[in-house]
Amino acid sequence: MKNILVLGAGRSASSLIRYLLDNSTAQGWEVTVADISIEMAEKKTSKHKNSRAIGFDIANESERQKEMNVADIIISLLPPHLHHIAALECIRLKKNLVTASYVSSEIKALDKASKEAGIILLNETGLDPGLDHMSAMHIIDRIKKGGGEITGFRSFCGGLVAPESNDNPWGYKFTWNPRNVVMAGQGTAQLIEDKQYKYIPYNRLFIQTELISIAGYGSFEAYANRDSLSYRKHYDLENIPTIIRGTLRMPGFCKAWNAFVQLGWTDDSYSINASNKLTYCQLLEAYLPKGNQAVRQKLADFLREKPDSEVMNKLEWLGIFEDNKIGLKDATPVQILQDLLERKWKLGEKDIDMIVMQHIFDFRQEGKNKRIISSLVVKGEDQVYTAMAKTVGLPLGIAAKLILNNKISSKGVRIPVMKEIYEPVLQELINYGISFKEEEKTGLF
């Protein structure tokens, strides 16, 4: 028997745990699911014969050492800032670790120590980051092997609601951490296009969008996603003239979201005194220039929108012009907005989520300009086995299986850009309905 320790049994753990349990008898696994809430862990294991659910606090040293010591591999879905504790313990105990989180500077600093311990700290092995790396590298390596020179890489991903559950004017419902959605994009996005560096600050991130289309699913709106430049190194595309990563929303979302950016409602750095005594409309007034018009008109003027525009209708649908009281006391603008949106953008009981990903590779091969478009659409099964949970959890589970079965030779702090990982993971994902559709074109783009 091999022991797998899963840290964290939250929303995104469902598909991972199901995968591990479904494979447990054939593979000879005992799966321990550890969460700060034992009830949460028990709910996810459903008393499966190869499972064990435990209450667990990573900060408790003796508990941590006891459980990690009997594990053969650890899969961490803990909040990102806690991975460092798990990783240090993994080095001490010489246990492999898999996570779906970005490599933090703290984790990065453990590369040498983890190599010396003979282990792999495999990060960014969920959806985005994760499946994006694997599916991109799969094609990048293939193009290079075929003698192609890659001149452009554009990659987009979005966690959305499926068209059949899309029944609000924003075309959006929360399918993952709402706070991250509200805070998304702060800072300056960085990319390169036709050899020209582009820096897009937050105040115009949501207006400098582009449309991309996915056969059978129509158009999506993309805004630039943070630092695309660093991916040149990750993907070994150091001199590529164009590299852009973007986040996908339904068309029209970004321009309306920009209203909150321009208002200042995505600031989390200060509290609104006695916010529970205000209505949303009064809060709006506090963010708008002086004037005698009604708040709705004042906002339209401020945004240079007509009063019945798409943007204004989306805002109106949120109820911000009505006299509803804000539910939170002394809250930051982000907290107030998130609280409102969590009610308005709630995934209904019968709603289905959807993951959309598309890579566009431009390359020159045998004197011809070519383009490969690789697209993925995954829909959720229900509110538990969402597309998000599947696309985050299955890559983690498959990667853990590969490591347990000694199929991975890489050591140290890694992300899944190596063939020995992406090839078998992508292959197995096909069995779960996660497969990219490819289209190749020749000509001028």
- Write out the residues near its own copies by the rule CB under 8 A: 187-188, 190, 193, 196-201, 203-204, 208, 227, 229, 261-264, 267, 269-270, 272-273, 285-287, 289-290, 333
Name the minimum Å distance from CB 191 to its own copies.
10
Amino acid at 316: E
- Asked if 131 and 156 count as a contact pair (C-beta separation under 8 A), the reply is no
Element (H, E) at 44: helix 38-45
Report the alpha-carbon distance of residue 367 to residue 119 in Å, rounded. Answer: 44
Exposed, middle or buried, 344 (CB in 10 Å: 0-12/13-18/19+)?
Answer: middle
* Residue keyed to tokens 């069995």: 431
Cis (ω within 30 of 0) for the bond into 79? no
Name the minimum Å distance from CB 198 to its own copies.
6
Exposed, middle or buried, 222 (CB in 10 Å: 0-12/13-18/19+)?
Answer: buried
118: left (phi over 0), alpha (psi -120 to 50) or beta: left
**Distance from the first to the final alpha carbon of the chain:** 54
* Helices marked H in 236-384: 253-263, 280-287, 295-303, 310-317, 333-344
Name the minimum Å distance from CB 287 to its own copies.
5
Name the minimum Å distance from CB 212 to its own copies.
16
Name the minimum Å distance from CB 286 to its own copies.
4
User: Tokens representing 372?
Assistant: 């490969």
- The nearer residue to its own copies, 200 or 331, going by C-beta atoms, is 200
Beta bridge partners of 161: 353
Report the alpha-carbon distance of residue 306 to residue 198 in Å, rounded. Answer: 31
- The nearer residue to its own copies, 189 or 434, going by C-beta atoms, is 189
- The nearer residue to its own copies, 95 or 245, going by C-beta atoms, is 245
Name the minimum Å distance from CB 295 to its own copies.
12
- The nearer residue to its own copies, 115 or 226, going by C-beta atoms, is 226
Beta bridge partners of 219: 213
Angle between helices 253-263 and 310-317 (to 10 degrees): 70
100 closest CA partner among 28, 8, 174: 8
Amino acid at 329: K
Report the alpha-carbon distance of residue 205 to residue 158 in Å, rounded. Answer: 16
Name the minimum Å distance from CB 127 to its own copies.
25
- The nearer residue to its own copies, 188 or 383, going by C-beta atoms, is 188
Report the alpha-carbon distance of residue 230 to residue 184 in Å, rounded. Answer: 18
Name the minimum Å distance from CB 80 to its own copies.
19
Name the minimum Å distance from CB 376 to its own copies.
28
- Asked if 393 and 131 count as a contact pair (C-beta separation under 8 A), the reply is no
Name the minimum Å distance from CB 15 to its own copies.
35
User: Tokens representing 122?
Assistant: 């495999």
- The nearer residue to its own copies, 62 or 196, going by C-beta atoms, is 196
